[in-house]
A and B are shown apart, each in its own frame.
Chain A
């Protein structure tokens, strides 16, 4: 079974530029998450999709961050414009959806973003 695929692995941009990350979840996984992991911290949820609908985006800085999941499969996360504090690893994860049952999430390798 193929895992969660993310690209690019690394990205360096200047502040105020824009950047986009791509994620392809495990086949058949209805739930997709984007997490931000700042150095020395645990992953923090930015947005959660159930198929192509948003379940929770309460921690997404909507003035600069946006995400979409077209057709309930692949997803993109965009930052425009980037700030220095956006430097982090952006992790995509997916999980099966079983109603009223928690299941473990499977993570991709992440995209390390450096804003200079």
Chain B
């Protein structure tokens, strides 16, 4: 049973336009959400996060929106650049015990930004 779902395996966007990557989750215990970016042959790198007490977090060209009632979050990239082409993973965090947190990942969305 997938607790974190990224239903779009791929997305193509023109350079300069907005990229919107979506993520849904089912576990109401998740209270912290993260986006990771992954280039081929590299490990995932942290991009941006949001706590469940917020509905928006912005960092430069990247904004994450959280809709708790819908159990949905999205990552907006504006403007999109060719260097943003990568696989983006949505991850959700819950307390795994003793104050320690555990990440559950979605399957990823491959973003291609076309020059």
In the bound complex, residues from chain A placing their C-beta under 8 Å from that of B101 are 31, 95, 102-103
Is A14 part of the contact surface with B, judged by Cβ < 8 Å?
Answer: no
In the bound complex, residues from chain B placing their C-beta under 8 Å from that of A102 are 31-32, 93, 101
Closest B residue to A53 by beta carbon equals B98
- Contact A104–B43 (Cβ < 8 Å): no
Known: A48-B96, A100-B99. A109 touches B105 (CB 8 A): no
Taking a contact as CB atoms closer than 8 A, the residue among A50, A95, A103, A109 that contacts B42 in the complex is A109
Interface residues on B, range: 20 to 34
Is B69 part of the contact surface with A, judged by Cβ < 8 Å?
Answer: no
Alpha-carbon distance between A100 and B115 when the two chains are bound, in angstroms: 43
In the bound complex, residues from chain A placing their C-beta under 8 Å from that of B64 are none
| Most central of A43, A50, A93 by chain B CB within 10 Å | A43
Alpha-carbon distance between A103 and B34 when the two chains are bound, in angstroms: 10
| Most central of B6, B42, B44 by chain A CB within 10 Å | B44
Is B19 part of the contact surface with A, judged by Cβ < 8 Å?
Answer: no
- Contact B31–A43 (Cβ < 8 Å): no
- Contact A91–B44 (Cβ < 8 Å): yes
Alpha-carbon distance between A104 and B95 when the two chains are bound, in angstroms: 13
Alpha-carbon distance between A103 and B89 when the two chains are bound, in angstroms: 16
In the bound complex, residues from chain A placing their C-beta under 8 Å from that of B106 are 42
B residues adjacent to A (C-beta < 8 A) = 4, 6, 31-32, 34, 36, 41-46, 49, 89, 91, 93, 95-108
9 A-B pairs within 8 Å (CB atoms) are namely A4-B43, A35-B105, A41-B108, A44-B105, A45-B104, A56-B96, A104-B46, A107-B36, A110-B43
A residues adjacent to B (C-beta < 8 A) = 4, 31, 33, 35, 40-45, 48, 50, 55-56, 91, 93, 95, 97, 99-100, 102-110
Extra 16 A-B pairs, beta carbons < 8 Å, given A44-B105, A56-B96, A105-B46 = A4-B43, A35-B105, A42-B4, A42-B89, A42-B91, A43-B89, A43-B103, A50-B98, A55-B97, A55-B100, A91-B44, A93-B43, A103-B101, A104-B34, A109-B43, A110-B42
